[in-house]
Amino acid sequence: MIKAGKYDAYVAHASADKVYPGTAILYIPDVHGIWQNSKLMADQFAANGFTTLIVDVFNGDKLPDPRPEGFDIMKWIQYGSGGEENPNPHTTECVDPIIEAGLKVLKENYGATKIGAVGYCFGAKYVARHYKHGISAGFVAHPSFVTEDELKGFKAPLSIAAAETDSIFPVELRYKSEEILRTSNQPWQINLFSSVAHGFAVRADLSNKIAKWAKEQAFLQAVTWFNQYLL
């Protein structure tokens, strides 16, 4: 664990004999933030040659697990767990500076001149939003709340892993994303995984053979994408 400015972060270092000089990955997590699964995945990216930084985009207030009965995730995004009385919002105005702090650390502390960004669920939106701050290639899985304008503004190679069952990134949004990416003049890819649901690339039930395969394939999709467009 390190600090990215005033925010907590987790860094996984690529080994000296494997590291790709000048490259790094910014890992923007789902609503569970920095936890066992995201750390293990950052370690896997590092094992494949990319020093990887996860930033605490929730400023110490990741989603409660398990969620309380009747939990309102949209209210949590708007105010944080403290509600209106003690707000710690997770809106774009609050998350954007955290992403920028993470990118700054990768550039200044780790010498990254080419940065790949991965975003899972909540984190996907911020991959799209921060192209202008030095992201050279992106990968997102089961993206959440990415607007058309944000996707249009991402002017770098982008790979998407989508779930067959996903109320947040349904068929209509997937088709719309394809329409936008076809006009981007950038390399793009959308892989659709059957028999899995939103969150599979991070939180798959590894005792389920299909879910385990899809999770592993989505990770390999990200690695091969960065091997092609970041190196």
Task: Give the range of the structural domain holding residue 115, as residue numbers without chain letter.
Answer: 2-229
Give residue 68's identity as a one-letter amino acid code: P
For residue 31, the domain's CATH number is 3.40.50.1820
Q: How many domains does the chain have?
A: 1
User: What are the pLDDT digits (tens) for 128-169?
Assistant: 999 999 999 999 999 999 999 999 999 999 999 999 999 999
Q: How far is CA 67 from CA 31, 53, 64, 72, 180, in A?
A: 11, 26, 5, 9, 35
Report the catalytic residues: 121, 166, 198
- Predicted local confidence at residue 34, as pLDDT: 97
What average pLDDT score do residues 113-139 get?
97
Asked if residue 94 lies in contact with residue 82, where contact means CB atoms within 8 angstroms, the answer is no
Omega before 66 cis (within 30°)? yes
User: What are the pLDDT digits (tens) for 7-23?
Assistant: 999 999 998 888 899 99
Q: What is the rounded distance in angstroms from the CA atom of residue 108 to the CA atom of residue 31?
A: 27
- Whether the per-residue pLDDT at 67 is higher than 90: the answer is no
From the list 141, 140, 137, 126, the residue with the least C-alpha distance to 201 is 141
DSSP-based three-state secondary structure for 142: coil
- For residue 4, the cross-strand partners are 7
Strand 188-197 with 135-141, pairing:
unpaired
Separation of CA 31 from chain center: 10
From the list 25, 107, 94, 100, the residue with the least C-alpha distance to 60 is 94
What average pLDDT score do residues 24-50 get?
97
**pTM higher than the cut 0.85:** yes
Strands (E) in 92-187, as ranges, are 114-120, 135-141, 158-165
- Whether the per-residue pLDDT at 30 is higher than 90: the answer is yes
